A and B are shown apart, each in its own frame.
Chain A
Amino acid sequence: MDAVLFLVFAAIAVVCAINLVLQTHPIASALSLIGVMGSLAFVYLQLGGEFIAAAQLVVYAGAIMVLFVFVIMLLNEGKERKVKMKLWGRWAGAPLLACFLALMAFIVQRVLPPQESVRFGAFTGGDAQSIGTRLFTAYLLPFEVTSVLILIAIVGAIVLARKEID
């Protein structure tokens, strides 16, 4: 049952990622990316990362991608102009990528023994309470630093995107 669920959501993620790369209209790419993020949230749930799954839905799919979709709709540029790649790029690109990935998959499979399988529910440290405790005790400094980083990003975005008052 675990394997079936993983395969389904992994397949959705890979199909959406391929769709992201192949689609010409940026809105279709954005929706495919939202599909990737949603299916990855389910994969995180299987690994015991409930808080990370919820954060993925709230932060990534619900806020960052909304920002992308807004910008695409505001700029409203439409489809990309198609430009033909060089001949050898078109014919050898995807097969080379597939070979490389197959080689990597084979090596990874050999290094990590298949008997250690991931079971749903085997990892219990991913709930909000444990992550909160770690975040505010062991990782307090990075937490404060990232809050300053977000403040810098807000100020930067406002300065860059405001209308010039001449």
Chain B
Amino acid sequence: MNASGSPDFVESSRGRRVGMGQRLARFRRMLGPFFGLILITLLFAVLTRASGSFMTAYNWRTIGVQTVITATAALGMTIVIISGGIDLSVGSATALVTVVCALAVKDHGLSSSAALLVGVLVGVVCGVLNGALVVGLRVVPFIITLGTMKVFRGLAKWLSSSTSVDIPIGARTDWMREMLAIEPKGWLGIAPGIWMVLGLAALTATFMHVSIFGRHVYAIGSNQATATLCGVKVGRTKLWIYGLAGLATGLAGVLQFLYLRGTGDPTTADGLELKVIAAVVIGGGSLAGGEGSILGTLIGCLFMSILDNGCVHTGISNASQDVIIGSIIVAAVTIDRLRRSAEGPEGE
């Protein structure tokens, strides 16, 4: 046996050079989803080359606008998933928010902006309720939010008598229309909604990175027992996590209300939660907790929107679209997992 080469027992804890390597690794982790994004874009560009309708500025603006609602809700979901939790009530809560917004204007005579504020508040209440139940009843979030998913949907139907609620024409102001306009005046030609979600994303990402709260969220998701042992107030942190997720859902609901041009629809956003969860996971989030990033989630959201939009432009039937989208999601996440396990030990 020779005496050169690296020793066995130094598994991966050699110091110094790791700092750089680790930063690189974080960058590489983002590269996968990003590469996927480019790949499906190219795929659809080729598939639609005859009509050319996919690769137009107008269509990309549409995709941007279509991403806003998912992305807003996904900001909250990312935090929840990093903490090892899940929120299945996002779609229902979104519908509930649209209904409350519409009713506030129509039946209670609130101004549009006041109604939107109420809508956001409803989202927060939904989230805090989820958090309180998860912490108070010590039942896994999957079950709690499965329950509240039905409850919120039921509430939305009950409040609206199961029909869509329209606000008076006069209450539909210009800025409401502009918010998610595909070709808005000013704003550099990009809808204010997109700017908003980008701003929120930057804020959330920074917050998760530099705040004590952010660290505690990662710690709980990574190893809750350790977090508890180290004196992290796990219950209180979770309440905040679901409260923040509720805030994000409230904003998403308000945007959905605007997207529906001032209509409260109790059946809207059906299955939004699954789309949001898929986006987070495609962006590198782990349902086991401890992993996930805001940038990754944004990429995941864009991925989902391009998938939806591209399928429409290729002109494949609706039924086949579902099959294709489902398969691509599974494939994307699988490839990411394989790639990461090849990269070496990560976490446990």
Do the two chains belong together in a single complex? no
A interface list, Cβ under 8 A from B: none
B interface list, Cβ under 8 A from A: none
